[in-house]
Structure formats: structure tokens, C-alpha cells
Structure 1
Amino acid sequence: MKHIALTSLIILLVIIGVFVLFQMREALILLAAGFALSAALTPAVDRQVARGMSRTQAIGLVFGSTLLAIVGGVIVFGTLAAGEFALALDELPTWYEQTRRALVDGGGFGSRTAAMLPPLFQAVDEFATADLAVLGALALDVALRTITLTALALAVVVFGFYWLLDQQRFERLWLSLLPPATRITARALYDQVIAEVGVSMRSGVLVVAFTLFSLLALLAISGVPGATLLAIFGGIAMVVPLLGPLLGLTPIAVVAFAQSPTTGVLVTTFAAVLIAVAKLVVTPRVQRDGARVNPVLVVLLIMVLAELAGLLWIIFAPPLAAALQAATRVLTADRAALNAPSDKVAQLEDALLALEARSKEAAPSPQFADMLKRARSLVDEAEEQLISQPQS
């Protein structure tokens, strides 16, 4: 009866814990994003510290440079994208009427579809006489979402900054809360997760940046309209495994072929080559220090993050997958280590046997004999601990 009650209590506590974590999912995602940011910038901070700079100055320099790069990129690409969007709005009436006439001239299903579309003057009149309250609510919603996004980004940066600043203190604190028997495994797990998440974040940023700038140069030289918007979409699409290259290439091909067949073939071919270089050359080079992330796991995490937090957070799916893989690898290795004697203990055993054999050849001093006896006692105790340690 007590066993049933204890089991029921554990199940109830687990359900309550899951519910609490679900209610706090936004805060947890923010903490995870800040943690990933600090993991990505840790090597740069360590390099500056190795050159003689204080840790506080190194963190300030690295975070300041990163913020300047991000803000500068947002301003430059935001300005270009806004200009292209405004130009697209100017061209929209012409494109709308041309498309409608082409459908009418094509006959068949296209003609029936065009019949459902209002003429240009009617569409413009309906838009101009639309409820101003609806348009105002839409503008307010966009403004509020922009402010919220900015606040979230600042929260991630602040958490990542303070995590790096007091990293050693945080590590000692949470390790001190664990039982002594689990601290070695927990420390190895933490170090592995930090390393894998950092590699995943840095490689993802570099691949997205390479794809974005290379596609922007290609589309700008080719004169394809909406070059900045297409390049931004193509770069961000590289975060998605397996389908990312296809997602990034499809709108480029559609817009390029709308210009002319020759432009479509050339631009699509060169864009495919650039995306292939990013996927097959750049990605392996920047990920050589880390393990390969399972693409199926990334896709599953993308769906989960999109459902729980929105599409914006899917960019953190690869580092989260890297963290899960690193944790699984460390825990699996730890379990395997528990199932066999430690290599170091075996080496100590061999060395101790050699010393004992030598001591039998000649009478050792009492001090050496006492040290040998204590060493044998310690090695035997270590072997007993390995054998008797509970398997999990």
C-alpha cells in the first residue's frame, strides 16, 4: 500500500512539474537562448583573456562587438528590405492587373479564377474604403510585436552577459546542490553541452551569413527584384535541415523565372551552387570541432518550438538538438564506464603489482612498506566502489 501511495505521489509531482514548466515555457526559452548565446561567445572571451585582458573587459568587448554587428546588420538589411517592400507595393497594382489579364486570356480554369478577382479600380477602392479601425489595429499589433521582440532580444543578451560574467560562481552553486556522487557526471555533462551548443550556434550563424551575403550579391548583380528579401529568406531557411536548401531556392527560382527564362535558369543554377557550397563545404568546416546534429531531431524540435513559442524561436532548434545529443552521449558514456573497471584504476593496479614484485626481491624500508600497504588499501577500495556502484 505504501509503495502504491509513493508511486502515485511521484506521478502527481511529475505531472505538476510538467504543468509548471509548460506555464513557464517563455521564460525557459529565454533562459535557453541566453545560455546558447553565452556558449557561442565563450571561446572568443577565452581568447581575449589568454591575451592578458581581464575577464570583465573581454566579455564587454565581445558582447559589445556582437551587439554592434547585430544592430548594424538589422539597420542595413532592414533599410534595404523596407525599400524593396515599398517598391513591391508600388508595383503591386501593375502586377495584379497583368496577372488577371493573363488568366483571362489563358481561358479554362485560369479564366474562371480571374472572374472571381475584382478589377483593379474596384480592388483599390475596396482597400481605400476599408475600416480604418481594422487597419489601425493591424498597425498597433505590428508595433507591439516589434517592441516585444526587441525586449526579448535585450533579455537574452542581458542574461547571456551576466551568465558569462559570473559563470564560475553559477557553476559552483549548482554543482554544490547535487549529491557528491553525481557531480563528476554533471560536470562532464555541462562541459559537453556548452561545447556542442557553442559549436552549433557559431556554425549556424556563419552558414546563414555566408548564404545571405552570397545570395544577395548574386541577386543584386542579376537585377532580380526583391534581392534583399529573397537573400534573407534563403539564409534563414538554411537553419531547417534537409528541406532548408529547397525552401531557400524555391522563391528565388519563381521570381527569377518571372523575369525571363534565361535569367531564371542562370540565377537558379548559381543560387543552387552557392547553397550547395554552404551546405557541403562551409557547414562541415565550421562544425569540425563538434558532433553532427541529427536532422530528424532538429525537425522535431522546430515543430515543438514553433508550437510552443512561435516561428521566431525555431532558429534555436539546432543548438537545442546539439545539447540533447551531447547530454545523451555523456550519460551513455558514463553508464558504459560504470559497467567496466576504470582504465586508470587498472593502470594503478598494474603499477602497484610491479612495485609489490620489486619489494619481494629486496627488503624494503619500513616507510616504503607502509606506503605500499596504504596504496594497496586505496586501490582495493576504489575497485570495490566501482563494482558496488549502483547501475542506472
Structure 2
Amino acid sequence: MKRIMKYTAVILATLLVLIILWQFRLVLLLFTLSLFVAAGIRPFVRQLMHWGLTNSTAQLIIYGLGIGGFVLLFLLAGDLVLQQFNATANQAVVQYESLHRQWQASDSWTQSLAAVLPPPFTPADAQAMDLENMLPVMLTLTQNIAGGIGSLILMLALSIYWSTDQNRFERLWFSLLTPRSRAYTRDAWRSIEEAVGSYVRSQTVQSILAALLLGIGSYFLGLPAFVVAFLGAIATFIPLFGGLLIALVAFGLGSLQSLGLGIGAAVYSIIVFIVLEMLIEPRLWPRERRGFLLTFLIIVPLLELFGVWGLLVAPPLSAAIEVLIGQAYQASLSRQVGHVHIHDLQERHEKLVATTAVSATEQLSPELRSLSDRLAQLLTKLHDIAEA
């Protein structure tokens, strides 16, 4: 009866924890992302501390350089990106309107296709739209942008706070565990931090290189370089399909001028991502840490729950789960080996007891008897610890 009550209490407590996590899933997501950022910069902080700086000073330098570089890049290129986005959108509308009219005037299957496609957006349609219809759209867009910026600021704040007091938090968490599981948890946590940090650094480097290579290539191909570079930098963080998506975008932008240019832009984008995948990523994130199947299985629920944020969390989360599985497997193997050693020691102790029992007529020395009793007690304790 006690065992049934114990199992019931554990199940109810687990369900309660899951309900609480579900209610605060957005906070949990931001906290997870902040841990990923902290894991990514940890080697740089250690290097600065090795050079004689304090932890707080090293954290301030790393975060200051990162945030300052991002703000400087936004101030220098943000206006150009918006201008090219606007010009590209206008060009796409004009080209779509012209193509739609050509297909409607033809006598082939393209006429049926034009009837299925949505009608082009003309300037008359834009003038016909009143303020009441545009206001909800603009309000929703503004809310989404403000919410995204606020989430990024909160994530950075959590990351800074965690990086500053990480050792104290870890000591507090590990003190709640049993001494036997404390070492295993510490090793698993260090391995997870290393794997996740490697992924964050790898994707950051690939994002910068993709933006540079795609921007330079788009400039020489006559495409909007800042738009392609911006989208390429974001696409590197999309697992499995990032290269394919940016290739489709490059094909669409190039096709606004000619079909051959679109094909060439798509091929160039694919080559860039293949080079990054084959040459850069293995140096920063080893292949044995990548599980594409597990990543794909995690992407589906996270994408439904958190949208684009779920795509960012899925790869490092799958790497963390793989590390946990590997640590659990290694712990199971060590436990099995430990059982074998304990069984061998018990057999040797039994042989020793049997050997001493044969000479019952001889009086055993107190030292030998004390050693035998002490060995039996140690074997019993060792067996109990291994079974726990």
C-alpha cells in the first residue's frame, strides 16, 4: 500500500510540475536561450580570466563587444536593408502583375494557372484600402516587433545574470542532490554546456560567413546584397532546411530579372551552405554531436508551440538530450562493471572465510578476525550503495 501511495504521489507531482512549466513556457524558453548564450561565450570568458581579468570584467567585455557590434551593424546597414526590402517588394509586385496578365492572355495551361493564382496588387487597390483595415495589421506588426525586441533584451539580461553567478547557482543545485548522483550530474551538466556552447559558436561563425559570402556574391550578380546577406545570416540558424530556403529566396530574387540569373543565384547559395557545412561546422561542432533524426522530432512540437523561437532551440536541445542519453549509458555500463567487481570481491571473501574455517582447531589472531569482519562490513555497504 505504501508503494502504491508513493508511486501515486510521484506521478501527481510530475504532472503538477509539467502543468507549471506549461503555464510559464515562454519564460522557460527565454531562460533556455539565455543558458545557450552563456554556454557559447563561456570559453572566451575563461580565456580573459586566464589573462588576469576578473569574471565580472570579462563578462562585461564579451557582452559589451557583442551588443555593441550588433547595434553598430544595425545603425550602419539597417536603413539599407529596409530600402532594399522595399525596392525588392515593389519590383516583385510589378513583375507578378506583368506575368499574371501574360498568363491570362495566353491560350495554354498558364491561363488556367492564372485563374487559380490570386490577383495582382495594384495601386488602385492600395488607394482603396481605408485606415480601418490597415490599422489592425500595423498594430499587430508593431506588437510582434516590440515583443521580439523585449524578449531579446530579457534573454540577454538573464544570460548576463546567469553567467555572473553561475558557480553559486550550480553549488546550490548540486547541494540538493545526493552525494552519489552529484558527480554524475556535474559531469552531465559540463558535457551539455560544452555541446551547446559548441553549437552556438559554430552557428554564429557560419552566420557571419554566410552573410559575407552571400552579400558579396549577390552584389556581383546584381541582386539586393543586403537583403540576401540578412536572410542568409538568419537561415544558418534554421536547422536542416536553412540552405534550401535561402536558395529558393535567391532563385526568386534572381528570377525577377531573368531565369538564368535565378538559377545561378540558387546554385551559388547552395554551394556556400555546403562549404560551411563541410568545412567550417565540423571544426567547431563535431559530427558525433549531431542527431538529425532527434532534431527533426524535436522541431515539430517546438515549432507548433513557439514558432520561429522553437527552430532556434531545437538543435542545441537535441544535442543536450543526446549528451544525457550518452551519460546515462556510460553510468549504466560503469554500474554493471561495478557489480562484476563487487561479485568477484564477495567470492574471494567467501573463499577466505572458508579457508579460515577449515582450521577451526587453530585459534585465529584478533587482527585477522577483525580484518575479516571489517571486510565483510565494507562489502555489505558497497553492495548497498551499488543497488541504490
Counterpart of 1:149 in structure 2 is 148
Structure 2: 5+ residue stretches without partners: 346-368
| Deviation sequence 1:41-92 (CA, Å, 0-9, x none) | 1000000000011111111001111111222334445323211122134435
1:235 alignment partner, one of 225, 233, 236: 233
Structure 1: 5+ residue stretches without partners: 350-372
Q: Is the 8 A contact 2:92 2:256 kept in 1?
A: no
Q: Is the 8 A contact 2:195 2:289 kept in 1?
A: no
1:311 alignment partner, one of 308, 315, 335: 308
Q: Which amino acid aligns with 2:176?
A: L
What TM-score comes out, normalization by structure 2 length?
0.83
Q: Is the 8 A contact 1:341 1:386 kept in 2?
A: no
Q: Is the 8 A contact 2:239 2:311 kept in 1?
A: no
1:284 alignment partner, one of 278, 282, 285: 282
Give me the CA root mean square deviation: 3.1
Counterpart of 1:296 in structure 2 is 293
State the identity %.
23
Secondary structure (helix, strand or coil) at the match of 1:239 reads: coil
Paired residues in the alignment total 363
How do 1:194-233 and structure 2 match up within 5 A? 194-224=193-223, 226-233=224-231
Secondary structure (helix, strand or coil) at the match of 1:197 reads: helix
Counterpart of 2:322 in structure 1 is 325
Counterpart of 2:384 in structure 1 is 388
Counterpart of 1:253 in structure 2 is 251
Structure 1 residues 113 and 267: alpha-carbon distance in aligned structure 2, compared to 1, 3 A threshold: closer
| Deviation sequence 1:168-215 (CA, Å, 0-9, x none) | 111111111112221111111111111111111111111222222211
Q: Distance in 2 between matches of 1:134 and 1:388?
A: 72
Counterpart of 1:132 in structure 2 is 131
Q: Which amino acid aligns with 1:132?
A: L
- Report how far residue 2 of structure 1 moved: 4.3
Counterpart of 1:17 in structure 2 is 17
Secondary structure (helix, strand or coil) at the match of 1:389 reads: helix
| Deviation sequence 1:329-377 (CA, Å, 0-9, x none) | 112211211111399x99xx9xxxxxxxxxxxxxxxxxxxxxxx99999
Q: Is the 8 A contact 1:338 1:386 kept in 2?
A: no
- Report how far residue 22 of structure 1 moved: 0.8
Q: Is the 8 A contact 1:59 1:161 kept in 2?
A: yes
Counterpart of 2:65 in structure 1 is 65
Counterpart of 2:104 in structure 1 is 104
Q: Distance in 1 between matches of 2:378 and 2:39?
A: 35
Structure 1 residues 326 and 115: alpha-carbon distance in aligned structure 2, compared to 1, 3 A threshold: closer
| Deviation sequence 1:281-306 (CA, Å, 0-9, x none) | 11111114x84220122222222222
Counterpart of 1:356 in structure 2 is none
Deviates more, 1:66-75 or 1:146-155: 66-75
Secondary structure (helix, strand or coil) at the match of 1:178 reads: coil
